[in-house]
Chains A and B, each alone.
Chain A
Amino acid sequence: MKIAVCIKRVPDTEARIKIGADGKSIDDNGVKFVLNPYDEFAIEEALQLKEKAGDGEVVAIAMGTDGSQETIRTALAMGADRGVLLQTDVVAVNPVTVAKALAAELDGAGYDLVLFGKLAVDDDSQAVGTIVSELLGLPSVSAIGHLDITDGKGTAEREIEGGVEVVEFSLPAVLTAEKGLNEPRYPALRGIMMAKKKPLEVKPVEVSDEGIAVVELALPAERPEGRIVGEGPDAVPALIEALRMEAKVL
């Protein structure tokens, strides 16, 4: 089983976000970058599928600046076999731009499965994986919480409002991983050592991001300072009063 996993380098979810001098992007200074949390589920699923199949290859592909090499090493330390960096300094605003570069790398490479995270926690688009499936003309299921693959056919489950959709598909296919799909492993020391020797190919790519541009990036409006209505159960009537009379939500 040959599986590609597309991964992204993103600010740590704990990171404080400051706006950069251009007013259109964040100030990277002092920001810790990590492997996108949802991509960990994608890597774990790929590794488990390969282990179950008994043979195969897991390739981690990231598009981004040189800094993404570190992110790819994390995937290699978890157990991916090799990495590809599609190197560019362009930070695309349109998810279709990213999808095109990834699709060009994936097309014709003979992958049985291409896995993505559901969403990248920086641009929060939840789009790239599904767009790639359209560009490649492959079936896809997004935000899956459960996967079963037998005899070249797959069944995936995805959460929707008030239920779970069950989707059947044929391989090759594209899937995007939701939290809960599995428990991602931590890279062991041995894995980290081995990762240093695994192949990581760097390919410069040309991208043009058109039709959409950032006018302004700003911090969200602070919520107006709220108030503590009181302490303990005796504060309940004051809370109800406030919810009825001030907030008018009851």
Chain B
Amino acid sequence: MANVLAVLEQRGGALKQVSHEVLTAARTLADAAGGTVDAIVLGPGGVDVSGAGGYGADRVIVVESDDLSLYQPEPYAAAIVAQTQSGDYAAVVLAATAMGKDLAPRVAGRLDCPLAADVTALEWNDGPVASRPLYSGKAIAKLQLTASPCVISVRPNVFNPVENARDGTEQKAAPSETELRARTVEIKEPEKARLDVAEAPIVVSGGRGLKEAENFKLVEELADALGNAAVGASRAVVDAGWRSHAEQVGQTGKTVSPQLYVAVGISGAIQHLAGMRTSKVIVAINKDSDAPIFKVSDYGIVGDLFEVVPRLTQEIKNLRGG
């Protein structure tokens, strides 16, 4: 028997979508191993965890404190480690989000156990078997984990949430007293809140083909027309100062796997592809029919983006009845 601890994420008291993916990944392991899935979530009082049972949580441990509304590395790690040590868990599963990428190493370090980070596929064979991209996605390693417990973070947007109704019995736990040597004091939100590239189901990215920063409005308008879309950027335009680093997609930016990725005036350098090649559907608009981006694209239009993009935006608006 092997139980799995799924670490859920909340923001503003609501479970984040990625939590369902974590539960689905945890369920994959627990079902194969004949175990149960406990979920743990930290936050301020009143986090709504009612959705967790529907995606496979047998039990939901809620660690509440007003000091935990923002991600605080030390108490978060302490609570997860305490829970892991209190039960018989084969694996701790988190999402490789900004929080998970900070938290997973802490948990593995404290438990002195192996960590498989940013995993894109999971099986069970006498223990978890985790696949993860290496060399920025240029190779995929299949890893056998033999230590129990172990820590696994899963890449967002890869594990499709599967409904799987379980009890989801809620149980409250008090946070342990931890000294905060590092304290998150605030989250600065950008003035115009758009979806984050790493989370959005659709990403429209622009590159140097846009010629100048001003012209990014073409990309923004297309994203607005599509709805549910984030704006991304190549490194060339981030380095040029047209866009913020938060929007950069690629090896030294974010890794994204949206349902739809639209590359506008982006050549498709290997470092850019590293960040978006696992997108479900890729569309490229480029005037150069030899641009490498077309090699990874499902659909391409060869042409001047200044003509193609406004037309595309218009047709999508028509389609959406606006």
Q: Report yes or no: A169 in contact with B301, Cβ–Cβ below 8 A.
A: no
Interface of A is mostly: mixed
0/1 string, A212-250, CB within 8 A of B gives 1: 111111111001101111111101110110111001011
0/1 string, B169-196, CB within 8 A of A gives 1: 0000000000001111111111001111
Assembly CA distance A206 to B135 (angstroms): 26
Interface of B is mostly: mixed
Q: Report yes or no: B281 in contact with A17, Cβ–Cβ below 8 A.
A: no
Report the nearest B residue to A229, measured CB to CB: B299
Q: Is B104 an interface residue (CB 8 A)?
A: yes
Q: Report yes or no: A142 in contact with B301, Cβ–Cβ below 8 A.
A: no
0/1 string, B233-250, CB within 8 A of A gives 1: 000000000000110100
Q: Report yes or no: B299 in contact with A127, Cβ–Cβ below 8 A.
A: no
Q: Is B1 an interface residue (CB 8 A)?
A: no
0/1 string, B292-311, CB within 8 A of A gives 1: 00111111111110011011
Shortest beta-carbon distance from A135 to chain B in Å: 6
0/1 string, A11-47, CB within 8 A of B gives 1: 1011111010000001000000000011000000000
- Name the interface size band of chain A: 35 or more
Q: Report yes or no: A242 in contact with B299, Cβ–Cβ below 8 A.
A: yes
Q: Is A158 an interface residue (CB 8 A)?
A: yes
Q: Report yes or no: A239 in contact with B139, Cβ–Cβ below 8 A.
A: no
On chain A, the residues within 8 Å of B319 by CB distance are: 240, 244, 250
Q: Is B137 an interface residue (CB 8 A)?
A: yes
Q: Is B251 an interface residue (CB 8 A)?
A: yes
Shortest beta-carbon distance from B290 to chain A in Å: 11
9-residue interface stretch from B21-29, B37-45, B70-78:
B70-78
Q: Is A159 an interface residue (CB 8 A)?
A: yes
Q: Report yes or no: B281 in contact with A166, Cβ–Cβ below 8 A.
A: no
On chain A, the residues within 8 Å of B182 by CB distance are: 139-141, 167-170, 173
